[in-house]
A and B are shown apart, each in its own frame.
Chain A
Amino acid sequence: MTPLLQVEHIAKFYGSRIGCTDVSFDLYPGEVMGIVGESGSGKSTLLNCLAGHLTPDRGAVRFDTRADGLRDTVTMSEPERRMLSRTDWAFVHQHARDGLRMNVSAGGNVGERLMAVNARHYGEIRAQAIDWLGRVEINEDRIDDRPTAFSGGMQQRLQIARNLVTGPRLVFMDEPTGGLDVSVQARLLDLLRGLVREMNLSAIIVTHDLAVVRLLADRLMVMKDGHVIETGLTDQVLDDPQHAYTQLLVSSVLQV
């Protein structure tokens, strides 16, 4: 089977400082990869390099495009990459305001990606928006409200709906539950689990929260100071950590 994403020796430097270095892995359809690390580990830098928000200094990110098979997105032209990020890719930001248009209604936010790929029937666009709002448990009667009138958790769910409406195959998530109340986090994680399974999504999730990866990720990569120090099945890395740092991380997590 062809991997959906092939990451080869990605590196990003800031002068002499290492953002991330020598990161390689394959991701297959339906797999969720978690990237954990503490502040400064390079995980967000890595995610942004993979998603095309930053240009890596070295390496390739090959994506299995529908039309042309495996293509290196790092060397792709900007229009192609932007098209990819509107259709086959999705990016869920930590702060909903970075991933939503706050002065556009919920329905407009969800419909935008459809309109960007030439949906031209108002009724159908609105129907799809209502459908997706329902799937992320936002009531239909909020469709014309602006996200500024939503709670943090609702904004995040709206962001997810906005991203998933075009049926992407790969979702990048940057601390998707960061800053949310615990009960809201829980609901969001359940939603993500369900959607990942229903839509056979692949996902790359960056988080510092080990409980999130335990719940969502099949595989795990632990980063420190820009390097990947351990990688493997999530339950294996968390239950049988090999590296000193991983053991430290796992033992540091508070048990409730």
Chain B
Amino acid sequence: MNDYNFAYLDEQTKRMIRRAILKGLAIPGYQVPFASREMPMPYGWGTGGVQVSAAVLTPDDTFKVIDQGADDTTNAVSIRRFFQKTAGVEVTEATAKASVIQTRHRIPEQELRHDQILVYQVPIPEPLRFLEPSEVETRKMHSLEEYGLMHVKLYEDISQHGDIATAYAYPVKVEGRYVMDPSPIPKFDNPKLEMAAIQLFGAGREQRIYAIPPYTQVVSLDFDDYPFQPTKADHACDLCGATDSYLDELIVDDAGARMFMCSDTDYCSNRRAAGHIGAQGIPAAEDVA
């Protein structure tokens, strides 16, 4: 018996967060303010995502945490252990087996199902923040649907860089109404935002929660003559040979040689287990790592 309430937060706090989540689901893409609690990790380390996960977890859930697509980074491991200790839930690295997935900056490659929840860690929830520093003004813009400024940002990109330069945290319009920051996922992931699972977004320091219910329309902003393109590196994964997954680029020696691997570790290992081998891959059975 540990000293913590289930999933660390007290029941009143969870109720408050669940109300915010319900409101967010009722108004897709709308940022709901919530009273973010002090958590045993600092701001900027996923406190928003952790609070949302804590509020939705039940003892029967199976929990997965990824950080930039990987289950084995320090942060992912820490958060997974945190919930193991405070909630005692089953944990997994397999996307297909998880019922709740907390993620930092990626959407899993594997298509999610309607019985799964994806929880995003969000640093800055306000998509208009860099162009309009006033919170009062951005709230008004959202409530009055005054989003011209958002396109100004894209216009500026094209005029300065020849194309829309935003590569991650690419703004989207949800259900034709609210403009939303999908968290710093690569724009390659934007099309996946239309999915069967529930998507919840938590920003701990900024104290906002927002949500996208299943099968909601999510459109990436663009111009008619500069349409949105979900781009990725023009390579295949060197380990499993996948051509349709987002890749991490690694520099492997001092001469600058590089290799590309799937950012989503679970996806990659599943492909290798199924026998796919990339240019630099070794068969799964021989892989001791």
- Residue numbers of A with Cβ under 8 A of B are 78-79, 82, 86, 101, 103-105, 107-108, 111-113, 115-117, 120-123, 125-126, 143-144
Q: Mark B210-227, 1 if CB is under 8 A from A, else 0.
A: 000000000000011110
Could you list 10 A-B pairs, sorted by A, with CB under 8 Å? A104-B152, A104-B156, A115-B151, A115-B152, A116-B147, A120-B151, A121-B223, A122-B224, A123-B225, A143-B159
Check A107/B155 contact, CB under 8 A, given A122-B225, A122-B226, A144-B160: yes
CB distance from A119 to the nearest CB of B (A): 8
B148 interface contact, C-beta 8 A? yes
CA distance A111 to B131 in the complex (A): 15
Contacting residue for A122 out of B131, B160, B223, CB 8 A: B223
CA distance A113 to B148 in the complex (A): 7
Q: Are A121 and B224 in contact (CB under 8 A)?
A: yes
B145: nearest chain-A partner, CB-CB: A79
Residues of A near B158 (CB, < 8 A) are 122
Q: Mark B119-158, 1 if CB is under 8 A from A, else 0.
A: 0000000000001000000000000101111011001101
Check A117/B148 contact, CB under 8 A, given A122-B223, A123-B225: yes
CB distance from B19 to the nearest CB of A (A): 27
Contacting residue for B225 out of A82, A104, A107, A121, CB 8 A: A121
Check A107/B159 contact, CB under 8 A, given A121-B223, A121-B224: yes
Q: Are B148 and A105 in contact (CB under 8 A)?
A: no
Residues of B near A144 (CB, < 8 A) are 159-160
CA distance A101 to B137 in the complex (A): 14
Residues of B near A116 (CB, < 8 A) are 146-149
Check A82/B144 contact, CB under 8 A, given A111-B152, A121-B225, A122-B223: yes
Residues of B near A86 (CB, < 8 A) are 148
Q: Are B225 and A108 in contact (CB under 8 A)?
A: no
Q: Are B144 and A79 in contact (CB under 8 A)?
A: yes
CB distance from B134 to the nearest CB of A (A): 13
Q: Are A82 and B146 in contact (CB under 8 A)?
A: yes
Q: Are B159 and A126 in contact (CB under 8 A)?
A: yes
Residues of A near B144 (CB, < 8 A) are 78-79, 82
Instruction: Count residues of B near A (Cβ-Cβ below 8 Å).
Output: 17
Q: Are B160 and A115 in contact (CB under 8 A)?
A: no
CB distance from A113 to the nearest CB of B (A): 7
Residues of B near A115 (CB, < 8 A) are 148-149, 151-152, 155
B151: nearest chain-A partner, CB-CB: A115
Residues of A near B156 (CB, < 8 A) are 104-105, 108
Residues of B near A120 (CB, < 8 A) are 151, 223-224
Q: Mark B183-195, 1 if CB is under 8 A from A, else 0.
A: 0000000000000
Check A108/B152 contact, CB under 8 A, given A126-B159, A144-B159: yes
Residues of B near A108 (CB, < 8 A) are 152, 155-156, 159
Contacting residue for B131 out of A104, A117, A126, A143, CB 8 A: A104
Residues of A near B159 (CB, < 8 A) are 105, 107-108, 126, 143-144
Residues of B near A117 (CB, < 8 A) are 148
For chain B residues 155-208, which have a beta carbon within 8 Å of chain A?
155-156, 158-160
Residues of B near A112 (CB, < 8 A) are 148-149, 152
A123: nearest chain-B partner, CB-CB: B225
8 closest A-B pairs by CB? A116-B148, A115-B151, A122-B223, A115-B148, A121-B224, A79-B144, A108-B152, A120-B224
Residues of B near A105 (CB, < 8 A) are 156, 159-160
CA distance A101 to B158 in the complex (A): 18
A114: nearest chain-B partner, CB-CB: B148
CA distance A219 to B144 in the complex (A): 36
Best-buried of A103, A116, A143 by chain B (most CB within 10 Å): A116
CA distance A120 to B152 in the complex (A): 11
Residues of A near B151 (CB, < 8 A) are 115, 120
CB distance from B60 to the nearest CB of A (A): 46
Residues of A near B152 (CB, < 8 A) are 101, 104, 108, 111-112, 115
